[in-house]
């Protein structure tokens, strides 16, 4: 049975909505979670439905979106499946694996998801988990998805206003000013919403303002007079770097960093868990996202990241010429494959049942390891891991999320739970592992960078320290930009 909030009443729900996708909902929720936690309240994030290929694993082996895991860190609470009870992981343009309360329940196309799953199960899953969190925490900071005014799916949209209704939430509408047209985005969103839902929008927050915020605030005040919805604030562009939630990141980013040493990361069509790369952004390197063989020129290391569809992405590697370009670098630069990338480094990906890809059959891998990956069942591995880097005996940590199983004849890269994990050929600088997050601890990251030459790797658990500093920096930026009096009056009444 869930414990009750200290006051014995239902927790207060605050919902962050976006006038568009990539409006800054996630980072706003991160900021609010840390701000409320700093004030001494118990607080927890919640997103009823998230579509993302960046996932994390809870302590008890449930899969949730990476961003809700980060928001839990901001709130200083241990993540559970309740913070993200429905996770959609696209396997193709029209189909997604559906994760319910941390476990996969099937693959749905758009018509079957909105026509069957949502009305039959979705609303119940939303209410049950939301009620449990409101019984336990003073505040639940909810995050919407996309726009709350998608009129084509409005009645079936459990990620936005139906979730707000279930929680009786007061809502903040966030808009990204960097895109231009922010006032029109706000007005159009409000006009498309039914009156009952529109009344839940208690404030507008203008996000990611470049330069002086006074000009935005003047226009925002005029729009407030037109709509009757007050302005919560104008948040300037913040340089505090948080992990990116989804592939929108790649729309405007070709590389990160400005170091002389370049790490080429293969930008797979179904790339997943690319937050594995985040610890490298704090090193003296340039991380370059590559999609063609020519972009590998000058790279001192190559990383093949995770993917939601190893078979399909391996075929893309062949057709694009990336496969030959990578194998040509064998023995010349370190090559690391993580999860799906590790699977592709083997001799074969055997999928006779079509579990990974509808085009069932055997697909040749890169042949860098004497290893074969198959999909013998629909069982999914989701677990946190601790172990050691076999070369040095130093600790490594991470988490596994995968359905394929890899049989390898190579030496193990790590020892996890007393068992061999991954594959390695030290003489050829080839590394493969199922461990996401393996670069967060210094041991293996330091070794990988040392193979690139004179790259001074940072010592200690600096990534964890950097992440905490980034969360605090974001919270401080929002706190300074917001009308805290308005926030207390409207969103914290009674607490």
- 239-243, 335-339, 423-427, 446-450: which has the minimum mean pLDDT? 239-243
The pLDDT tens digits of the residues spanning 138-154 come to: 999 999 999 999 999 99
Q: Reduced to 3 states, what is the DSSP secondary structure of residue 32?
A: helix
- Catalytic residue at 426? no
Answer whether 330's CB lies under 8 Å from 368's CB.
yes
pLDDT, residue 3, reads 41
- Catalytic residue at 339? yes
Answer whether 348's CB lies under 8 Å from 362's CB.
yes
The pLDDT tens digits of the residues spanning 94-130 come to: 889 999 999 999 999 999 999 999 999 999 999 999 9
Instruction: With a cut of 60, say whether residue 227 has pLDDT above it.
Output: yes
Tokens of 15: 């919902």
Question: Where does residue 94 rank: exposed (0-12), middle (13-18), buried (19+ CB within 10 A)?
Answer: exposed
The pLDDT tens digits of the residues spanning 290-305 come to: 999 999 999 999 999 9
pLDDT, residue 454, reads 75
The pLDDT tens digits of the residues spanning 310-349 come to: 999 999 999 999 999 999 999 999 999 999 999 999 999 9
**Rounded Cα gap, residues 144 and 21, in angstroms:** 10
Instruction: With a cut of 60, say whether residue 4 has pLDDT above it.
Output: no
Instruction: With a cut of 60, say whether residue 197 has pLDDT above it.
Output: yes
Instruction: With a cut of 90, say whether residue 204 has pLDDT above it.
Output: yes
**Rounded Cα gap, residues 284 and 300, in angstroms:** 13
**Rounded Cα gap, residues 372 and 495, in angstroms:** 57
CATH number listed for the domain at residues 12-237+470-491: 3.40.50.300
- 202-206, 451-455, 477-481: which has the minimum mean pLDDT? 451-455
- CATH code 3.40.50.880 region(s) in the chain: 249-460
- What number of other Cβ atoms are within 10 A of residue 456's Cβ? 11
* CATH-assigned architecture of domain 249-460: 3-Layer(aba) Sandwich (3.40)
Helices (H), 193-285: 195-198, 214-227, 278-281
- Determine the distance from the C-alpha atom of residue 474 to the mean position of all C-alpha atoms in its chain, rounded to a whole number: 17
Please state, for a pLDDT cut of 90, what percent of the chain lies above it: 83
CA geometry: angle 326, 327, 331, nearest 5 deg: 100
Which among 249, 287, 241, 245 has a CA at the least distance from the CA of 266? 287
Q: Reduced to 3 states, what is the DSSP secondary structure of residue 206?
A: strand
- Residue 399 host element (H or E): strand 395-402
16 phi/psi in degrees, rounded to 5: -100, 115
Using the CB atoms, write b or e for 108-147: b if 16+ within 10 Å: beeeebbeebbeeebbebbbebbbebbbbbbbbbbbbbbb
Mean pLDDT of all residues belonging to the chain? 93
pLDDT band at 22 (very low <50, low <70, confident <90, very high): confident
DSSP 116: I
| More confident position, 387 or 358 | 387
**Rounded Cα gap, residues 102 and 380, in angstroms:** 11
Instruction: With a cut of 60, say whether residue 6 has pLDDT above it.
Output: no
Instruction: With a cut of 70, say whether residue 419 has pLDDT above it.
Output: yes
Instruction: With a cut of 90, say whether residue 354 has pLDDT above it.
Output: no
- CATH code 3.40.50.300 region(s) in the chain: 12-237+470-491
The pLDDT tens digits of the residues spanning 173-192 come to: 999 998 889 999 999 999 99
For residue 143, what are the β-bridge partners? 16
The single residue of 44, 339, 426, 447 carrying the catalytic annotation is: 339
Instruction: With a cut of 60, say whether residue 2 has pLDDT above it.
Output: no
This prediction's pTM: 0.92
pLDDT band at 9 (very low <50, low <70, confident <90, very high): confident
Sheet holding 430-433, edge to edge: 255-256, 285-290, 261-266, 301-304, 335-338, 430-433, 423-425
pLDDT, residue 5, reads 53
Answer whether 412's CB lies under 8 Å from 433's CB.
no
DSSP 300: S
């Amino acid at each position: 049975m869930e414990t009750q909030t200290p006051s014995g009443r239902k927790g207060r729900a605050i919902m962050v909505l976006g006038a568009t996708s990539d409006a800054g909902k996630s980072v706003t929720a991160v900021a609010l979670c840390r701000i409320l936690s700093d004030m001494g309240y118990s607080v927890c994030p919640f997103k009823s439905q998230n579509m993302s290929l960046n996932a994390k694993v809870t302590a008890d082996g449930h899969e949730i979106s990476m961003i809700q895991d980060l928001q839990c860190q901001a709130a200083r609470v241990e993540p559970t499946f309740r913070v993200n009870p429905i996770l959609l992981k696209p396997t193709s343009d029209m189909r997604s694996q559906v994760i319910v309360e941390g476990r996969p329940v099937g693959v749905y196309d758009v018509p079957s998801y909105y026509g069957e799953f949502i009305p039959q199960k979705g609303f119940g899953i939303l209410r049950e988990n939301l009620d449990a969190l409101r019984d336990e925490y003073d505040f639940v900071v909810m995050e919407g998805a996309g726009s709350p005014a998608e009129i084509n799916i409005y009645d079936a949209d459990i990620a936005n206003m139906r979730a707000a209704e279930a929680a009786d939430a007061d809502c903040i509408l966030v808009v990204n000013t960097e895109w231009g047209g922010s006032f029109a985005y706000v007005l159009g969103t409000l006009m498309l919403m039914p009156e009952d839902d529109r009344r839940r929008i208690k404030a507008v927050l203008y996000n990611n303002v470049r330069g002086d915020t006074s000009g935005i605030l003047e226009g925002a005040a005029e729009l407030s007079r037109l709509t009757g919805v007050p302005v919560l604030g104008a948040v300037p562009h913040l340089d505090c770097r948080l992990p990116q939630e989804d592939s929108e990141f790649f729309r405007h980013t070709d590389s990160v960093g400005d170091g002389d040493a370049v790490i080429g990361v293969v930008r797979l069509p179904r790339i997943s868990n690319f937050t594995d790369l985040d610890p490298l952004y704090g090193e003296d390197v340039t991380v370059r996202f590559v999609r063609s063989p020519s972009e590998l020129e000058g790279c001192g290391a190559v990383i093949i990241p995770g993917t939601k569809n190893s078979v399909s992405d391996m075929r893309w590697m062949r057709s694009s010429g990336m496969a030959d370009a990578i194998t040509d670098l064998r023995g010349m630069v370190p090559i690391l494959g993580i999860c799906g990338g590790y699977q592709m480094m083997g001799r074969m990906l055997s999928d006779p049942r079509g579990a990974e890809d509808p085009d069932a059959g055997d697909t040749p891998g890169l042949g860098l390891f004497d290893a074969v990956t198959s999909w013998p069942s629909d069982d999914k591995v989701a677990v946190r891991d601790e172990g050691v880097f076999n070369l040095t005996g130093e600790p490594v940590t991470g988490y596994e999320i995968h359905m394929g199983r890899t049989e390898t004849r190579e030496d193990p890269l790590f020892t996890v739970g007393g068992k061999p994990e991954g594959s390695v050929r030290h003489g050829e600088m080839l590394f493969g592992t199922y461990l996401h997050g393996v670069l967060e601890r210094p041991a293996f990251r330091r070794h990988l960078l040392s193979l690139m030459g004179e790259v001074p790797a940072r010592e200690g658990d600096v990534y964890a320290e950097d992440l905490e500093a980034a969360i605090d920096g974001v919270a401080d930026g929002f706190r300074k930009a917001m009308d805290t009096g308005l926030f207390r009056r409207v969103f914290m009444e009674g607490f």
